Structure 1
């Protein structure tokens, strides 16, 4: 198979693989990979049906792109690196864009703890996570002792013993055993589950494909098959998440078929889970996988993260961004107009003139007509209320302040948080936090009317 391109970036902020691996570039960096390549018509290619060749490709990519060294048994899955890295990278972006700082950027100081269910012999996900983010730690489990022995060896080889902890599990054990692991909370859970429900199901998947499998499969039965296939496995995680709730910020899972993604998204909706994200993890022209994530918290991922990659409309979550076109108007004017509009509301508003960016936090809808009428009524009655309070204070003999009536700003419950970015001829709105999509769109409507005079 010929190659086209690969992604080059630093280890901490490496971007997604978006094409097939550049065999020429990899061969130039790694002699062991160069030795297994074949050349035809001035193009390098490798035999993806040779298990040894596929293993070497994985080892070379991990070594050259991430500084990771692994050993793999011949009778267990050899993980393709690009799709695995794309999964990790997506999880990174999920966490980066749902933090309480609202920064939407990687925070090198943030400590993160994740769990990989089914680490496999390679232990590739924990190794990639920790190699790319120095403050991340991982727990991992597997029901296969043979795979776990190799995984532990790979952790030790890479000096990750203090940051990656592995445990042998059983088929009947909870998939997310927080209490047994003595872990109060996790930042994320991830899994690359068996895709098939039976041997017949697996064979049918190969038979129905127009092209043969792109690479030889050396996976053991427990890596390929489980009751209900990938949907059944992820449903188990969903059932456990309904009990664990916010003890995990993001529950995530890879899926082998678009139809599986559609079924899982339908199950999320059945349980009223609206804060979810989906991605297509395709890294080359053949291999295509999908992933889903859901959260019981109210921090919303950036729109390009929540709806990442090539996807069908039916699986998409509500958008977390809107753009208001403001023709012929500059950022300064738009910022002043937005500021004047928001300052009339009972909300928290932070504005940065240098960057023309503001963040609005509201406890509820205070911009509806009924809310504005209520505010006007309260305002007109304000003078009398002040007099009543003063009279009550005169009658308070002990003079103690009623501290229970005070509200700490840090404890304000946020019903909606939105970042407003003013640019020349456009204002971008980013839904940061909240559980009510209608509330977000109604605030967007308020600003649109203020900026354009149109609903």
Structure 2
């Protein structure tokens, strides 16, 4: 099955170019084809390593033909180390490193039916064109990436983010186990889907960077899009019945509910937000107000004890959610790892921020002569039920108060 549908949304090859149509419209294109790749597109400066002499010669020729000598440096290495020889020649601090390791441990594994579950398996659609040195190494990719991880421990923060491709999904568990053992701050895995092949990526860092917060765009692409909730904003005040006014009111409500609110799109007749809540702050509002009034009636406002009680009640209301937030993770968690020991969290709000109760996209849009409110559930322990509760809370606010 083709995996193109699961490619990263920003992958420049996600939408294949129509070369036939281009050749029809542009006769000169039939003779020459040029593609914008490597360092030229992103204006990156890079250092590349290679052990094969022929490959170095070809790479050097490609760099010269594209006039990229000032951006790409080629280093011929012996192969005893993966990264250390680079720092001997070009010392400094690098933003990231990427590795495409040899996938196989022996030449026998190159046969397409080496691990096939059945002999009737169809032949690969892609032609094999790599040299043996490029795809075969002692111990295969596990031993190769293990060497990379061990060297990264010694180099530490000299490279901000280390990355590697992984050819076999079964090799991910031992590699992630090793990353925990070398005490990385965080790591993250992902998938690369293109054509008929799936590969995996693994990234880790020794900087105080939480890679686990990177969104799983591929997972979202594979999942069926959730059905949004929709509500038509009532027309209470004709003069104030505008998207800008409704948007301001929404932001005010989310602020009162202590929800993070980020505007992600603002065009004519459309405003979109991503809102995040770390606790249920919208339920039982009447009970919370009665409790405050009761405490106020007991003349506790004037005493230090009264202030402490008010603060306690507010915090309890803020944390009104089933169970308690926890930073605990399991060793089998495939989503990544963040070493909490390297984080210093002193504020209570920051301590609970690791657990999302509700995350959703809120859209305000013009629907004919009305203003519509669309809510889409993203994630959270509160599930979709929490989103229904938020919608009901918004309905009550819009119905009771003028814009």
1:217-228 matches, cutoff 5 A: 217-228=128-139
Change beyond 3 A, Cα 1:361–1:218: closer
Report the CA distance shift for 1:230/1:167 in structure 2 as closer, same or farther (over 3 A): same
Runs of at least 5 residues in structure 2 that lack an aligned partner in the other structure:
234-242, 308-346, 364-371, 395-403
User: Does structure 2 retain, via aligned residues, the 8 Å contact 1:197–1:225?
Assistant: yes
Residue 262 to residue 178, structure 1, CA distance change in 2 (3 Å): same
For residue 178 of structure 1, report the CA deviation from its aligned partner.
6.9
Residue by residue, what CA displacement relative to the aligned partner does 1:239-291 show, whole Å, maximum 9, x if unpaired? 444555565454332333444456656766787876524123322xxx41313
Which residue number in structure 1 is paired with residue 374 of structure 2?
426
State the number of aligned residues: 303
The 5 Å alignment of 1:351-366 reads: 354=266, 356-357=271-272
Give 1:3-152 correspondences, 5 Å limit.
15-17=12-14, 24-25=20-21, 63-66=33-36, 128-134=37-43, 136-152=44-60
Contact 1:361 1:414 in 2 (8 A): no
Preserved contact between residue 272 and residue 361 of structure 2 (Cα < 8 Å): yes
The structure-2 alpha-carbon separation of the partners of 1:213 and 1:150, relative to structure 1 and needing over 3 Å to count, comes to same
> Larger radius of gyration, structure 1 or 2?
2
Q: 2-side partners of 1:290 and 1:248: how far apart? A: 23
Q: 1:163-206, CA deviations, whole angstroms, 9 ceiling, x for partnerless residues?
A: 112212232214366743322231x3222221111112223656
TM-score (norm 2): 0.54
Per-residue deviation at 1:231?
3.1
Does residue 184 in structure 1 map to residue 184 in structure 2?
Answer: no
**Kept in 2: contact 1:325–1:426 (CA 8 A):** yes
What is the Cα deviation at residue 14 of structure 1? 6.6
Answer whether contact 2:141 2:166 (CA < 8 A) is retained.
yes
Tell me if structure 1 keeps the 8 A contact 2:99–2:164: yes
Distance 1:32 1:213, change over 3 A: farther
- State the alpha-carbon separation in 2 of the partners of residues 361 and 223 from structure 1: 46
Whether the aligned pair in 1 keeps the contact of 2:251 and 2:261 (CA below 8 Å) is no
How far apart are the structure 1 equivalents of 2:162 and 2:260?
Answer: 31
Equivalence for 2:369: none
SS at match of 1:153: helix
**Equivalent-residue separation in structure 2 for 1:309 and 1:219 (angstroms):** 31
Aligned to 1:327: 230
| 160 and 444 in structure 1: CA distance in 2 versus 1, 3 angstrom threshold | farther
CA distances 1:346-376 after superposition (whole Å, capped 9, x unpaired)? x8766689564557799x979699xxx9xx8
* Structure-2 change in CA distance of 1:34 and 1:174 (3 Å): same
Deviation at 1:325, TM superposition (A): 4.2
Matched, 1:171 2:84: no
Equivalent position of 1:450 in the other structure: 390
Change in CA separation of 1:203 and 1:354 when aligned onto 2, cut-off 3 Å: closer
Which one has more relative contact order, counting CA pairs under 8 Å at least 6 apart? 2
Deviation at 1:133, TM superposition (A): 1.6
* Structure-1 separation of matches of 2:26 and 2:166: 32
* RMSD (CA atoms): 5.4
Native 8 Å contact 1:329 1:425 kept in 2: yes
Q: How far apart, CA to CA, are the structure 1 residues paired with 2:217 and 2:78?
A: 37
SS of corresponding position for 2:63: helix
Q: Which residue of 1 aligns with 2:141?
A: 230
TM-score (norm. length: structure 1) = 0.49
Q: Structure 1: where are the runs of 5+ without partners?
A: 8-12, 36-59, 67-127, 314-321, 388-411, 432-439
Residue pairs, 1:206-285, within 5 angstroms = 208=116, 210-242=121-153, 248-260=159-171, 264=175, 275-283=187-195
Are 1:298 and 2:201 matched, yes or no? no
Work out whether residues 263 and 272 of structure 2, in 8 Å CA contact, stay in contact via their aligned partners in 1.
Answer: yes
Deviation at residue 446 of structure 1 after TM alignment: 6.7
Distance change (3 Å), C-alpha of 1:276 and 1:152: same
Q: In 1, Cα distance between the equivalents of 2:263 and 2:303?
A: 30
